[in-house]
Every structure is written in structure tokens, then in C-alpha cells.
Amino acid sequence: MTDTTTRVRPGRLIINGEAVDAASGRAFTTMNPATEVPICEVAEAGAEDVERAVRAARAAFESGPWPRMRPAERQRILFRLGDLILEHGDELGRLETLDNGKPIFESRQIDVPMTANCFHYFAGWATRLAGETLPVSPAFFTYTLREPLGVVAAIIPWNFPMIMVGWKCAPALAAGNTVVLKPAELTPLTAIRIGELALEAGLPPGVLNVLPGPGNVAGEALVRHPGVDKVTFTGSTAVGQRIMRLAADTVKKVTLELGGKSPNIVFADADLDAAVRGVSTGIFYGKGEVCAAGSRLLVEASIHAEFVAKLAERAKKLQPADPLDPKTRLGALVSEAQMKKVLGHIESGVAEGARLVAGGRRQPVDGKGWFVQATVLDAVENRMRVAQEEIFGPVLAVIPFDGVDDAVAKGNDIRYGLAAGVWTKDVKKAHAVARRLQAGTVWVNAYNFYDAGMPFGGFKQSGFGRDLGPECLREVTQVKSVWVNLE
């Protein structure tokens, strides 16, 4: 297996425009999940570093040039950052694959362009954020201003660490906020590198600070800090609930994009070959470590046997392999703990009566790595753990249904509501089912498509607020009403 981890330099914190060590001097090791070999040492942010970073971000907001800069200049800098991400695409893609275990095809060909596109897209919004003139009375000139919030804490997960930098930071910065970014401890490398590129692009000191470190220390300190005005978080529902409780003490604004257990619904009148491909992508892309993964396949009873046979055949061909090989499509899970969690869920599903029709086991590559086979569990009942709990791995639970009402009922019978898929040639049915599903995103005859211009977020316990699209700019700005007496 290819292993080039020795060429990765140690990671440092970025505070007030400088790369620095943690105040405590502590560091942690980030591991290559495909080889089980250390990649490098990374400075470990603690409470004192959070204090330094928030102080720098607050000063940059209160008295620095960023919020007062001409919007066209902010636009230029953010667009330049997007360009730099593309220029360093090979480096960033490699770092992402080494750190996360995902195939280099995904890191380089999908994650890098999508991250750059976020900065390019939201750079354009820097000049378009505006208030309104509201003629409420002839005696007054009345209007609104849309203003930045202040200091935004962005706490991001380990499954898409590079993309999440774009999702969280680009809109906040475009609106004139300053940001303290805390990447996941398991995957800090691309966030640190983009933080360095941001300085090269021209972001003033203190505007974007990067604090790799443990969530229960650095993350909680950020949420508690009175100098932070807003927390935007992507991660588990349990951690999102804790963030809400902690943020209440300082009445912070909070945006949460949390877990999912999304139904991918295949009707008998669908293009079955296209649906098999889409269902496979929906669960096995990103090793299934995707919040919106289509981890529950709801398939109409009349085509159940045929469809599952085709899907199982496809899953068996999808073999774990070296993530740095451009041909690989199934990489390593992010950590040994995550691998054990996924394998435990598979065992639980079989114990509850599900039938294993593909995968189900660990499959090291060259004797190393936290790889799990593409797994399909058939004969799943919607009450089973594998149908209700987020597994976050390449594990698909197959649930048969009878008719539209049954499909919608089973699709919605979950505490989550992040995404869903609908496969049918009947346009009226597609629109009707999409309206009835309790999900923030519904794909029809497709799955796992995203764009910087399209809002993304959840219903129910999948969170609230939106990333991406014009909608998310409301999450990082506030409205001020101004009354000017004309009499």
C-alpha cells in the first residue's frame, strides 16, 4: 500500500495570523486509517488557546479592517482563497485522504472543487447582502441594515473536514464576521492548511483562526465563551444537544446539522438499474460516513427480491483498497473505534433477525487498515437498531414496503429528518412523495448531490438552520431597523 505520510509537516494552531504551538505545549498524533501509521504531530488547543483565538477574532471584528472593508475587497480575497484551494488541490486531496481514509478520487476530484466553489460562490454574496427601504410612515425614512453577527465559532466533523471549512467559513466571512474554526481531532490537516492559504489570500490577522483539539475541551470552551456570538456545528445529535444547553448560558445563536438515517425509496416503476447505482452511491460513497447517507433502503415488495439481488452483486464488487490509488472507490473508516462501532451494528442487525446478503466483515488491505466491506442487510424491520440508529459506515438496511402510504410512513418513522431519496418514473408520484417526506433534502432519481447555491439542513433531530445557499446567510447576519425622523 502507498504510504507517503513522512512528508507531512507537523500541524500548528493559527491564531491572529500566526502559526503557533498550543499554550500548554501539548500535541496529539493524527493517524492514517488505511495504514495505522502516524501521519504527524498536531498542536492540541486547550482553553487558553481558545481565549487567545477568541480575543484575536473579537479584536479583528471590533477594530480590524475586515467588517469595514469594501464588500468588493472581501469578495476579491475570498475568491482568491477559492483559487488557491484549486491551485493546491493535489496537496489538499492527499492530506484529506491520508487523514480521513477516503479514496483520493473523492478527495481530489470532488472535495477540493466543492470546497473552492463554496468560497467562490459566497465571495459573490459579499457585495449582495443588503437591507430594505420600508415606507411605514411619511414622517420617517425607515430602512433595515443586514449586519454581521461578530465572532462565529465553527465546529466541524471528521467525515468531510475540507468541505466543511467551505460550508461553515465562506458564508460567515463573506458577511463580514470573524471565525474561530475547530476541526475534528481525528482530521485536522486540511483545515490547518486552508487556514494558511487564507492568510496567503489576504485575510487580515484574527479573521480566521484554526484550533485543532478535542471537542470536550476546545469545543466546549468555544461554546461557553461570552466573546463568541454564534456557534455553527455539524456532528452527532448527542453533541448538538449538549451545545444547545451550553450555548443557552450566553444566549448564543446556534445552527446545528446533526445525524441522519435517511430513507432511499425505490418504487416498482423506477429505472431499476439506475436506482441500484444510486442506492449504492447513496450508502457506500464516503464509506457511508456521510450524515445524509441513504442508509435505509425502502424497496417496493413486488421488486424486492430482484432489486436486492442486483444490489448485493454490486456491493460484492466494491472492494476496499488503497485510498491513494485513483481507482479505489471504498476507503478506510476514519478510526479503529469507528470500525468497531460499525461492525458491532452489523452483528446487532444479524442478531435481531436481519439477513446478511453482502459484506459484513473487516477486510484489511495488505494486512493493515480500518476497512469494512460494503454491507447489505436484508429482511430488516423498521424497529431494529440498524434501521433506527445512525451507523456511519458502509451498511445498508433493506426494508420492504407496500404502496405509497406505507413507503411514506416507514420513511418518516425515524427521529431524524436530514435527507431522502425517491426513485420512480411517475412525476406526479415523485412530487407528492417528496412533499410528504419529513426531510430537509429530497433527491428524486438521484442521490448525494450538493451545490453551494442549494440550502442543506435537517428536520426533527437532524437539527435546524441551513448551510449553503442564500438561506444560510440569514444564519450569519442580523437585521437592524433604522427610523429617521423627517418632521
- Give pLDDT tens digits along the chain (487 positions): 665 555 799 999 999 999 999 999 999 999 999 999 999 999 999 999 999 999 999 999 999 999 999 999 999 999 999 999 999 999 999 999 999 999 999 999 999 999 999 999 999 999 999 999 999 999 999 999 999 999 999 999 999 999 999 999 999 999 999 999 999 999 999 999 999 999 999 999 999 999 999 999 999 999 999 999 999 999 999 999 999 999 999 999 999 999 999 999 999 999 999 999 999 999 999 999 999 999 999 999 999 999 999 999 999 999 999 999 999 999 999 999 999 999 999 999 999 999 999 999 999 999 999 999 999 999 999 999 999 999 999 999 999 999 999 999 999 999 999 999 999 999 999 999 999 999 999 999 999 999 999 999 999 999 999 999 999 999 999 999 999 999 9
The C-alpha R_g of the chain, in whole angstroms, comes to 23
Amino acid 8 reads: V
**Strand ranges, E, within 6-163:** 13-15, 18-20, 27-32, 37-43, 140-148, 151-155
Q: For this structure, is 257 an active site residue?
A: yes
d(CA 84, CA 77): 10
Are residues 370 and 391 in contact, defined by beta-carbon separation less than 8 angstroms? no
pLDDT of amino acid 316: 98
Of the candidates 296, 294, 310, 299, which has an alpha carbon nearest to the alpha carbon of residue 268? 299
CB neighbour burial string for 82-110, b if at least 16 within 10 angstroms, e if fewer: bebbeebbebbbbbbbbbbbbbbbbbbeb
> If DSSP codes are grouped into helix, strand and coil, which group holds residue 432?
helix
Residue from 44, 96, 185, 257 carrying the catalytic annotation: 257
* DSSP letters spanning 106-117: HIIIIIHHHHHH
User: Residues 235, 155: contact at Cβ < 8 Å?
Assistant: yes
CA dihedral 422, 423, 429, 433 (to 10 degrees): -10
203: three-class secondary structure by DSSP: coil
- The DSSP line for 253-273 is EEEEE-----EEEE-TTS-HH
Q: What is the pTM of this model?
A: 0.97
Q: Which residue has the cell 412525476?
A: 427
Whether residue 437 contacts residue 408, with contact meaning beta carbons closer than 8 Å, is answered with yes
φ/ψ of residue 96, rounded to 5: -65, -40
User: In 105-235, which ranges are E strands?
Assistant: 140-148, 151-155, 178-182, 208-210, 230-234
C-beta separation of 209 from 145 below 8 A: no
Cell of 417: 429528518
Q: Which is the catalytic residue, given 40, 118, 169, 291?
A: 291
Helix residue ranges, H only, 63-103: 71-87, 89-100
Binning the chain into helix, strand and coil, the percentages to the nearest 5 are 40, 20, 35
Q: Which residues pair with 419 in a beta bridge?
A: 441
C-alpha grid cell, residue 163: 468541505
Helices (H), 252-331: 272-284, 304-317
Asked if residue 415 lies in contact with residue 258, where contact means CB atoms within 8 angstroms, the answer is no
439 in Cβ contact with 447 (< 8 Å): no
φ, ψ for residue 456, nearest 5 deg? -140, 130
